[in-house]
């Protein structure tokens, strides 16, 4: 528990979403690329291992492991471990279809319940031989993919669209993706994919709603500079909001496609203040948080952090547009309702979200369900509620290996080790 309002500057490592996209784009390019500011976490290391398994050169700088050179080469078969990384599970199969040989993919036990057949079925429709519809599965690569038009339902994850887009320029006919069904969640992540592909010289037409077309052609090498991970930053700026304190994040980008940037608007709506000065974001918390009514469809990954803040608010909150979170690392809606209620809160599931009403909270064990976002949400509540303990804070290594130490340094008023 924080004994006083937090006051710290927190330097956040690189974006997982940008890192894993940059790794695959660089692996498909014509010449080597150097990535700086790479996030080194379980999810990103699994992606680096995946492209290395397929024959791509991966060379971290011995003096700085966050700088990595990616050297494209002929793709080969092998076995890929996706762990709990949705980007690895969904971005690797289209790339694997370009390999000369069979690529098998498996992951952690919890991962086997997450949806993947949408992208596997799409690859079948594009002429790829795929064995299996869930983890583990196999891709029989022949060195090329026919490509063409494909219709999918990506309402459970935007990663199905991004995964196809990233490799599509290397397909013989490119790809035209038509989405049918409920709106695609996390649209900003698709925007991120498109912007990065265009930076690499790939032609992407997104002018028609729910349709994306990638023109076949070369992928240019780009020396990517990875932004700080704004979704990981969310827990730290939320700590300022929860405790009535002040947290600053250096290198906050002026322009970004990261949906995590929207945490600032959420915190302001709940009563905090925020300003950016010289590339440094500073958030100051209010005396008391207000409840929130919001559609979080585009920023679903922030839901655990936001829900924790709502459990501390003085009025009712209604969070909607996030039914797809039932298919994340865990069923995040059920997990949040269960854990907030376990601490004395009043949190109930709705058809597509959560309703959280004011109630006094007490200490207890917060279960993380091997989910990094659940773990940081528990840590956030523990700043304000005496006696809260997170059962598996180590699972934050998925995207932020140094999180426990960073959290302690924040409480001490410095981000320096």
Residue 233 corresponds to which tokens in the numbers above?
């930053």
Residue 291 corresponds to which tokens in the numbers above?
């409840």
Nearest to 365 by CA among 392, 399, 404, 347: 392
Note the helical H segments in 212-355.
Answer: 230-243, 263-269, 303-310, 332-342
Binding residues: 16-17, 21, 86, 114, 157-159, 186, 301, 328, 332, 373, 398
Per-residue exposure over 185-213, b if at least 16 CB sit within 10 Å of its own CB, e if not = bbebbbbbbbebbeebebebebeeeeebb
Binding residues for 3-phosphoshikimate: 16-17, 21, 157-159, 186, 301, 328
Residues 6 or more apart whose CB falls under 8 angstroms from that of 345 comprise 311, 356, 359, 361
Q: Strand pairing of 246-249 and 7-9?
A: parallel
For 365-416, the DSSP string reads EEP-TT-HHHHHHHHHHHTTSTTEEETTGGGGGGT-TTHHHHHHHHHHT---
| Given 227, 246, 301, 329, the catalytic residue | 301
Tell me if residue 301 is catalytic.
yes
Give catalytic residue positions.
301
């Amino acid at each position: 528990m924080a004994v006083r309002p937090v006051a710290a500057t927190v330097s956040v490592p690189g974006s997982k979403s940008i890192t894993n996209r940059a790794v695959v784009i660089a692996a498909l390019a014509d010449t080597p690329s150097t990535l700086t500011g790479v996030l080194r976490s379980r999810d990103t290391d699994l992606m680096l291992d995946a492209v290395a398994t397929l024959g791509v050169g991966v060379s971290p700088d011995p003096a700085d492991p966050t700088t990595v050179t990616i050297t494209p080469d002929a793709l080969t078969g092998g076995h890929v471990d996706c762990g709990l990384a949705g980007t690895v599970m969904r971005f690797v199969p289209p790339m694997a279809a370009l390999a000369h040989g069979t690529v098998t993919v498996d992951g952690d036990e919890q991962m086997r319940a997450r949806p993947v057949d949408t992208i596997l079925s799409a690859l079948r429709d594009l002429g790829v031989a795929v064995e299996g519809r869930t983890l583990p599965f196999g891709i029989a690569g022949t060195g090329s993919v026919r490509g063409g038009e494909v219709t999918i339902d990506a309402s459970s994850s935007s990663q199905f669209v991004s995964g196809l887009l990233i490799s599509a320029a290397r397909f013989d006919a490119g790809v035209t993706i038509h989405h049918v069904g409920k709106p695609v969640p996390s649209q900003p992540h698709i925007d991120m994919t498109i912007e990065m592909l265009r930076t690499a010289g790939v032609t992407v037409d997104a002018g028609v709603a729910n349709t994306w077309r990638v023109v076949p052609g070369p992928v240019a090498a780009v020396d990517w500079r990875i932004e700080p991970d704004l979704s990981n930053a969310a827990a730290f700026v939320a700590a300022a909001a929860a405790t009535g304190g002040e947290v600053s994040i250096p290198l906050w980008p002026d322009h970004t496609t990261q949906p995590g940037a929207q945490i600032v608007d959420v915190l302001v709506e709940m009563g905090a203040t925020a300003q950016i000065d010289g590339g440094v974001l500073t958030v100051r918390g209010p005396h008391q948080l207000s409840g929130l009514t919001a559609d979080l469809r585009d920023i679903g990954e922030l839901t655990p952090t936001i829900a924790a803040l709502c459990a501390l608010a003085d009025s009712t909150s209604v969070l909607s547009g996030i039914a797809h979170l039932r298919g994340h690392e865990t069923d995040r809606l059920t997990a949040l309702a269960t854990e907030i209620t376990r601490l004395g809160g009043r949190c109930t599931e709705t058809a597509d979200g959560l309703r959280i009403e004011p109630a006094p909270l007490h200490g207890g064990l917060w279960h993380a369900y091997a989910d990094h976002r659940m773990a940081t949400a528990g840590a956030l509540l523990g700043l304000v509620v005496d006696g809260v303990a997170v059962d598996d804070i180590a699972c934050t290594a998925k995207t932020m290996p140094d999180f426990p130490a960073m959290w302690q340094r924040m409480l001490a008023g410095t981000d320096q080790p």
